[in-house]
Structure 1
Amino acid sequence: MKKWTYLLSGVILGIFLTLSGTVFADQVKSLIGKKVTGEMTVIVNGKELSEKGAVISGRTNAPVRAVVDAVGGELKLEGKTIHITTESGQDQSNDVSSSDSNNKYMNSSKSDLEELRNSIQNNRIKPAVEEREGILKEIEILKTSGMNGEPSPGLADKQKQLAEYDVIIAKAKEELRLVEEALAVIK
């Protein structure tokens, strides 16, 4: 009689475990067996990743390890759980002023900020300043080249260009200030 009890208990326990596993599996939205319907380029902070994202069952999926590496984070696997930590996810000191909260670069990595700083300096400010200096020279020529002491007709256009370059330079310098501010917090 005891053998039958153990056998029946084992069968009932087996059925329970089988059904509970199936019910649990239905709760998890698994991608196993789903069809990949598209491929997408993934760009993080302006840099294209070598790995592609995938569209599976109408949902876009990104390569987690490549994205985490691109943002300077850390990825740890524990069983079937992925733990991601980024610099912005860690505790930060309280000596960040209230003006820093408006700085869109505060959560960027040091390498990204340094690259952005160099780009702003070399690709935006430097060429704009050089163009502005050229326009200033042209304005001086136009001021003296007019007839009867009158300024040349193109002078107004050059002054308008000068004002546009002043705006471009001011915006780039403000962006550079925000990047430098974010870098100062990291250092």
Structure 2
Amino acid sequence: MKKSAYVLSGVLIGAVLSTTTVAMADQVKSMIGKKVAGEYTVNVNGKLLTDKAIVVDNKAHVPLRSVNDSLGGSLNINGRTIIIKTEIPKDTAIPVSNNKYLGKSKTEIETTLKILKEDVLQEALDARDRVTAEINRLKLAETPEMISFWEEQLVEHNKSIVGIQADIAEAEAALAAVK
């Protein structure tokens, strides 16, 4: 009975270890056995690195330590994490912008601009024109009690149009930055 318990526990341990190994192997995307499609020189800020980059499965793999060293950064490995730190000199600080369209693709910005100009702005302009026409009609009809309501509406439409035009300018600035 003891022998069968040992054999059974051995089989169970073997099964667990073999499935764990397969699962862990699936997590690691090894380049072993992959074909290197090309070898490229690396240019960092005008300096050619002595180490080459390779392309495997349409992905470039660059020599991280060489690139990091050429940028003046520090590279540390902590367990399975690579930590890179670089300092940006104060005179070359990247300006921070709160443009909500920065970081979007050129196509996304162009689509947004088209919608803002052709739909949103045009609808706001048309609504303002209708309100202006109503104010003019009421002036001719001499009904001043209604005119103040429509004039308030006109102010709101003008504010909305200014906001839409600001959005358009922001999107155009982001599009110019993408080009």
Structure number with greater Rg is 2
TM-score scaled by length of structure 1: 0.47
TM (norm. structure 2) is 0.49
